[in-house]
Amino acid sequence: MTDRVMRAREWARPVRPARREVLGSVPQLEQGRPPLLFVPGFGHGAWAFAEHWLEHAAGRGFPAYALSLRGHGGSEPAPEATLRAYAHDVVQVAAELPRRAVLVGHGAGALVVGHALARYPARAAVLVAPVLGGWSTLGAALRRNPAGTLPAAFGGGLRLTPRQLFSRELPDADARRYADRLGRAGRRAQWALLNPDQPEAAVGRPPVLVLGSPDDQVVPLSALNRAARRYDSAPLLFPGMGHDLMLDARWREPIDALLDWLDKEPATRPGA
């Protein structure tokens, strides 16, 4: 067994177990498609995907589940959670699904998925508006929302405004309602975004799709391009949408594009 699969550190310092919230929606008829596991970004919970995408994916024949990382949504509080603990949550939940899953990470959840892919043999992965960390990401956020971003650089909470997250097509009442549900990530995990460890190579080299918007007020287009180049691809873009594609007014466009890609990708077709 290789060191990549089993590490001395994981035996000596195992991640503490935590109660995790998992929401799901399954098709009325089993079609043999791989399950989707949605991983929300920092501050978001499984509710962000349960609002639209879970039921929509199930309606197209894909069993769909969303995880609240520890400390988020209805999962167990975890103020000192780390990126390693978040990746552990993803791997544990994915391993409990009936078939090998497609991992879908949004925002900083895309970085968590990147680390999980080094431990879990996913059928495929999708990175939605990926926040992969680094000082350039912080710099872009500081320019757009200094009051909400600066405290996060010193261990405080990151406060994103509704207009950083959503397009103006989404009614103000809905934008405020979603923004009011946001929590905060663990202090250590949030710090790790400033100088993140790069994810190791994915087990089995699954196909990876990057989705985003050139009008995202959190992730600049240059970051989307860098994320896609890491996986030898180009980002699939949805102009006019905000950072939270799964909640924005035109939420159907990216989820349909994601599911269309899975339908065409040989590794994710039924029976593959």
189-232 pLDDT tens trace: 777 776 677 888 899 999 999 999 999 988 889 999 999 999 89
**Domain boundary assignment for the chain:** 8-268
pLDDT score, position 1: 29
**What is residue 180's predicted lDDT score, i.e. its pLDDT?**
92
pTM of the model: 0.89
Domain 8-268 CATH assignment equals 3.40.50.1820: yes
Q: What is the Cα–Cα distance from 48 to 46, expressed in whole angstroms? A: 5
- Residue 218: what pLDDT? 87
Q: Tens digit of pLDDT for each residue in 132-191?
A: 865 555 556 555 555 445 455 545 556 678 888 999 999 999 999 999 999 877 777 777
What are 224-245's pLDDT values in tens digits?
Answer: 999 999 989 899 999 999 999 9
Task: Look at residue 255 and tell me whether its pLDDT is greater than 70.
Answer: yes
Q: Is the pLDDT of residue 5 over 50?
A: no
Distance CA 134, CA 50 (A): 29
Look at residues 146, 132, 145 and name the one whose alpha carbon lies nearest to residue 222: 132
H-helix or E-strand spanning residue 205: none
How many CB atoms neighbour CB 11 within 10 A? Answer: 8
